[in-house]
């Protein structure tokens, strides 16, 4: 019998003669592999899934005009298309444009936003709307506006446009799109440019007071009558804004212009999202300034950081427990085979051959446990993702290979201390005890 055949014969006998001990080592590796693979799968898949879920809560990137001319004229449709194409390169994206104007209702100043209803509705699925969204001749008011005016769905209000105070509410409305100071300053400066342009245009139209669109009297209640189709309640700055179609706002103001703010919900986060922002800001052809919405991006980053921290803590605990479990099992096996090891050394077996046998035996336990544990871990991760996120989890083959290799490595490393003790057994002492 050759040495290699003898090696595998002894290895086979060592594994299957002590099935209970071998089962304990396999179970220890199985539990570790299942837990680690489940956590790793969740940590790889969940951030992307969470990012997709967070997109239902509004934009994570906004674009405003960069130059003074752009601030007065707004962002035209062609520029919006170009920026959208730039952002959408390799990413799924939703967008909505907002044109802000200052209006008066019962002589009190309010902000009205001209929007594409379909785009805004798709972007802000978390908005709680009672009634309907805006339509031709119909507006949707924020909860704070409705409470201040004492109106409800179906009520009618007269909205008057005054070019002289057109920037009064534009800055506060645009700042609702981002909680960062930088975003607020950009929106305010954009609104100031809008005011100057609208004032000039109001003068050029010779103060068209006959249709109620422009008034120079602060107490003038003339204007255009609109029906309140719905009331939106978000708990944020949107509650202080009146929403109408872009066509109605253009008709009310007496002229058309571009958007003050364009919101984007991009399927990206962290450094990837910041790279998109930098790419837009470095593109001088677009004449716009992009910035992230701190409220959304910081939430994404915080949740993912907490998830990763939890993963590392639990992984460390699982690794330690797996090492202890496998190491204890191998120590027990070595103690049972102490006489056998002494006899083999007395017959001329060297310590290296004995050590290799135990290391291979431990690796087999780790491989079997890793295979079973990886399969169980994948099932657990798949059930978890389907239950929490309602999404299927694909099998990551690279993660599977990593799980198997890690299981084998942990089993071998855990066996080092008992194997070293086994190779130091003095055959004379063992045989004397016999």
Residue 183, pLDDT above cutoff 70:
no
Helix, strand, coil percentages for the chain (3-state, nearest 5): 60, 15, 20
Q: What's the pLDDT at 215?
A: 44
Least confident stretch, 8-17, 111-120, 145-154, 278-287:
8-17
Please indicate whether residue 127 or residue 219 has the higher confidence score (pLDDT).
127
3-state DSSP assignment of residue 190: helix
Please indicate whether residue 284 or residue 151 has the higher confidence score (pLDDT).
151
Please indicate whether residue 175 or residue 59 has the higher confidence score (pLDDT).
59
Q: CB–CB of 430/343 below 8 Å?
A: yes
Residue 271, pLDDT above cutoff 70:
yes
Confidence label for 433 from pLDDT (cuts 50, 70 and 90): low
Q: What's the pLDDT at 88?
A: 82
The phi, psi pair for 192, rounded to 5°, reads -65, -40
Q: What's the pLDDT at 387?
A: 84
Name the token pair of 94: 């939703």
Count H helices, E strands: the chain?
A: 16, 10
**Mean pLDDT, the chain, as a whole number?**
78
Least confident stretch, 46-60, 75-89, 234-248, 261-275:
46-60
Confidence label for 300 from pLDDT (cuts 50, 70 and 90): low
DSSP 244-299: EEHHHHHHHHTS---BSEEEEEES--HHHHHHHHHHHHH-TTT-EEEEE-HHHHHH
**Dist CA 212 CA 210 (whole Å):** 6
Please indicate whether residue 186 or residue 287 has the higher confidence score (pLDDT).
287
The predicted model gives 292-313 an average pLDDT of 74
Percent of the chain with pLDDT over 90: 26
Confidence label for 263 from pLDDT (cuts 50, 70 and 90): very high
Candidates 165, 150, 148; CA nearest to 218 is: 165
Please indicate whether residue 1 or residue 318 has the higher confidence score (pLDDT).
318
Please indicate whether residue 368 or residue 25 has the higher confidence score (pLDDT).
368
Mean pLDDT: which of 6-15, 43-52, 162-171 is highest? 43-52
* pLDDT, tens only, 36-80: 898 888 887 777 676 666 666 778 889 999 876 556 688 888 889
Percent of the chain with pLDDT over 70: 76
The phi, psi pair for 3, rounded to 5°, reads -65, -40
Q: What's the pLDDT at 70?
A: 57
Q: What is the pTM of this model?
A: 0.62
Q: What's the pLDDT at 164?
A: 63
The predicted model gives 32-39 an average pLDDT of 88
Q: What's the pLDDT at 246?
A: 94
Q: CB–CB of 421/334 below 8 Å?
A: yes
Q: Report which secondary-structure segment, H or E, holds 322.
A: helix 294-336
Q: What's the pLDDT at 136?
A: 93
Q: What's the pLDDT at 4?
A: 65
Q: What's the pLDDT at 323?
A: 83
Confidence label for 432 from pLDDT (cuts 50, 70 and 90): low
The predicted model gives 312-323 an average pLDDT of 84
Q: What's the pLDDT at 202?
A: 40
The predicted model gives 315-327 an average pLDDT of 83
The predicted model gives 399-405 an average pLDDT of 91
Q: What's the pLDDT at 216?
A: 46
The predicted model gives 189-202 an average pLDDT of 40
Rounded to the nearest 10°, the torsion over CA 53, 55, 57, 62 is 160
* pLDDT, tens only, 200-212: 344 333 344 444 4
**Dist CA 171 CA 192 (whole Å):** 8
Least confident stretch, 48-57, 68-77, 97-106, 342-351:
48-57
């Amino acid at each position: 019998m050759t040495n290699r055949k003898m090696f595998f014969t002894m290895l086979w006998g060592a594994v299957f003669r002590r099935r209970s001990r071998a089962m304990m080592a396999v179970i220890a590796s199985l539990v570790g592999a299942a837990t680690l693979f489940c956590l790793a799968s969740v940590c790889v898949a969940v951030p992307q899934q969470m990012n997709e879920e967070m997109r239902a809560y509004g934009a994570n990137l906004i674009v405003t005009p960069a130059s003074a001319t752009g601030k007065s004229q707004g962002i035209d449709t062609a520029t919006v298309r170009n920026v959208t194409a730039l952002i959408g390169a390799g990413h799924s994206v939703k967008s909505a444009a907002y044109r802000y104007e200052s209006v008066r209702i019962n002589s009190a100043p309010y902000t009205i936003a001209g929007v594409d209803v379909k785009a805004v509705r798709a972007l802000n699925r978390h908005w709680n709307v009672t009634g309907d969204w805006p339509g031709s001749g119909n507006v949707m008011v924020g909860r704070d506006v409705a409470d201040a005016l004492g109106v409800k769905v179906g009520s009618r209000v007269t909205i008057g446009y005054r070019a002289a105070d057109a920037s009064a509410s534009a800055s506060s409305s645009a700042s609702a799109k981002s909680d960062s100071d930088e975003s607020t300053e950009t929106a305010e400066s954009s609104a100031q440019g809008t005011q100057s342009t609208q004032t000039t245009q109001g003068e050029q139209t010779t103060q068209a007071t006959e249709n109620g669109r422009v008034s120079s009297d602060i107490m003038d209640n003339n204007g255009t009558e609109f029906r309140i189709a719905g009331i939106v309640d978000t708990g944020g700055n949107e509650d202080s804004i009146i929403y109408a179609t872009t066509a109605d706002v253009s008709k009310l103001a007496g002229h058309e212009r571009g958007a003050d703010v364009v919101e984007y919900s991009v399927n990206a986060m962290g450094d990837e999202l910041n790279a998109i922002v930098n790419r837009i800001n470095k593109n001088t052809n677009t004449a716009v300034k992009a910035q992230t919405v701190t409220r959304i991006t910081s939430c994404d980053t915080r949740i993912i950081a907490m998830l990763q921290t939890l993963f590392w803590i639990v992984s460390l605990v699982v690794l330690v427990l797996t090492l202890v479990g496998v190491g204890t099992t191998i120590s027990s096996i070595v103690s049972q085979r102490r006489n056998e090891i002494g006899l083999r050394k007395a017959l001329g077996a060297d310590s290296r051959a004995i050590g290799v046998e135990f290391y291979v035996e431990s690796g087999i336990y780790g491989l079997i446990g890793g295979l079973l544990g990886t399969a169980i871990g994948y099932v657990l991760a798949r059930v978890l993702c389907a239950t929490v996120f309602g999404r299927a989890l694909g099998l990551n083959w690279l993660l599977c290979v990593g799980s198997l290799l890690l299981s084998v490595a942990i089993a071998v490393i855990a066996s080092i201390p008992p194997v070293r003790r086994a190779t130091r057994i003095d055959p004379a002492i063992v045989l004397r005890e016999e």
